[in-house]
Amino acid sequence: MKTRQLGLMLAAGLFAQVAAAETLVIDDQVVVRESTLERPARGLSMGAVEARFGAPQQRHAAVGQPPITRWDYPGFSVFFENQTVLHSVAIGG
Protein backbone atom coordinates (compact mmCIF):
# COMPACT_ATOMS: atom_id res chain seq x y z
CA MET A 1 0.00 0.00 0.00
CA LYS A 2 2.77 2.46 0.94
CA THR A 3 4.66 1.58 -2.23
CA ARG A 4 1.59 2.42 -4.33
CA GLN A 5 1.10 5.75 -2.55
CA LEU A 6 4.75 6.62 -3.03
CA GLY A 7 4.50 5.72 -6.71
CA LEU A 8 1.44 7.93 -7.18
CA MET A 9 3.15 10.83 -5.43
CA LEU A 10 6.24 10.48 -7.61
CA ALA A 11 4.13 10.31 -10.77
CA ALA A 12 2.22 13.43 -9.74
CA GLY A 13 5.52 15.21 -9.11
CA LEU A 14 6.72 14.43 -12.62
CA PHE A 15 3.76 16.24 -14.12
CA ALA A 16 3.80 19.22 -11.76
CA GLN A 17 4.88 22.46 -13.36
CA VAL A 18 7.82 24.26 -11.87
CA ALA A 19 6.82 27.84 -11.12
CA ALA A 20 9.51 30.48 -11.18
CA ALA A 21 8.79 33.96 -9.97
CA GLU A 22 10.67 37.17 -9.51
CA THR A 23 10.05 39.94 -7.05
CA LEU A 24 10.47 43.42 -8.47
CA VAL A 25 10.26 46.86 -6.95
CA ILE A 26 8.85 49.33 -9.46
CA ASP A 27 8.09 52.91 -8.39
CA ASP A 28 8.29 51.84 -4.72
CA GLN A 29 5.72 49.07 -5.30
CA VAL A 30 6.53 45.37 -4.89
CA VAL A 31 5.46 43.31 -7.90
CA VAL A 32 5.68 39.53 -8.25
CA ARG A 33 5.58 38.02 -11.73
CA GLU A 34 6.65 34.89 -13.55
CA SER A 35 10.29 34.89 -14.54
CA THR A 36 12.49 33.12 -17.03
CA LEU A 37 15.58 35.11 -16.04
CA GLU A 38 18.30 32.73 -14.95
CA ARG A 39 19.73 33.74 -11.59
CA PRO A 40 22.06 32.09 -9.06
CA ALA A 41 20.41 29.63 -6.69
CA ARG A 42 20.54 29.90 -2.93
CA GLY A 43 23.57 28.14 -1.47
CA LEU A 44 26.01 28.66 -4.35
CA SER A 45 29.44 30.01 -3.55
CA MET A 46 30.77 33.33 -4.83
CA GLY A 47 33.22 31.38 -6.98
CA ALA A 48 30.44 29.31 -8.54
CA VAL A 49 28.39 32.44 -9.27
CA GLU A 50 31.32 34.16 -10.94
CA ALA A 51 32.20 31.02 -12.91
CA ARG A 52 28.63 30.73 -14.25
CA PHE A 53 27.61 34.40 -14.65
CA GLY A 54 30.98 36.13 -15.06
CA ALA A 55 32.27 39.11 -13.13
CA PRO A 56 29.55 41.36 -11.71
CA GLN A 57 29.10 44.90 -13.02
CA GLN A 58 29.52 46.16 -9.46
CA ARG A 59 30.61 44.62 -6.15
CA HIS A 60 29.34 46.30 -3.00
CA ALA A 61 31.35 46.07 0.21
CA ALA A 62 30.07 43.74 2.92
CA VAL A 63 27.93 45.31 5.64
CA GLY A 64 26.65 44.09 9.00
CA GLN A 65 27.19 40.96 10.99
CA PRO A 66 27.07 38.38 9.50
CA PRO A 67 28.57 40.19 6.52
CA ILE A 68 26.13 40.67 3.63
CA THR A 69 27.62 41.44 0.22
CA ARG A 70 25.77 42.45 -2.96
CA TRP A 71 26.87 41.88 -6.52
CA ASP A 72 25.01 43.60 -9.37
CA TYR A 73 24.53 42.00 -12.79
CA PRO A 74 22.44 43.18 -15.74
CA GLY A 75 18.87 42.40 -14.70
CA PHE A 76 19.52 41.06 -11.19
CA SER A 77 21.44 41.46 -7.93
CA VAL A 78 22.86 38.65 -5.82
CA PHE A 79 23.08 38.86 -2.02
CA PHE A 80 25.66 36.78 -0.18
CA GLU A 81 26.12 35.94 3.48
CA ASN A 82 29.85 35.47 3.87
CA GLN A 83 30.62 33.55 0.63
CA THR A 84 27.20 31.93 0.08
CA VAL A 85 24.19 33.12 -1.99
CA LEU A 86 21.24 34.06 0.19
CA HIS A 87 18.97 35.39 -2.53
CA SER A 88 19.00 36.79 -6.05
CA VAL A 89 16.60 39.56 -6.97
CA ALA A 90 15.47 40.66 -10.44
CA ILE A 91 15.89 44.34 -11.22
CA GLY A 92 13.74 45.93 -13.85
CA GLY A 93 10.68 47.79 -14.76
pTM passes above 0.75: no
Radius of gyration of the chain (CA): 18
Q: Where are the domains of the chain?
A: 20-90
71 against 33, higher pLDDT: 71
Q: Which of 24-28, 53-57, 68-72, 79-83 has the lowest mean pLDDT?
A: 24-28
Strand-pair partners of 88? 78
Contact 78, 71 (CB under 8 A): yes
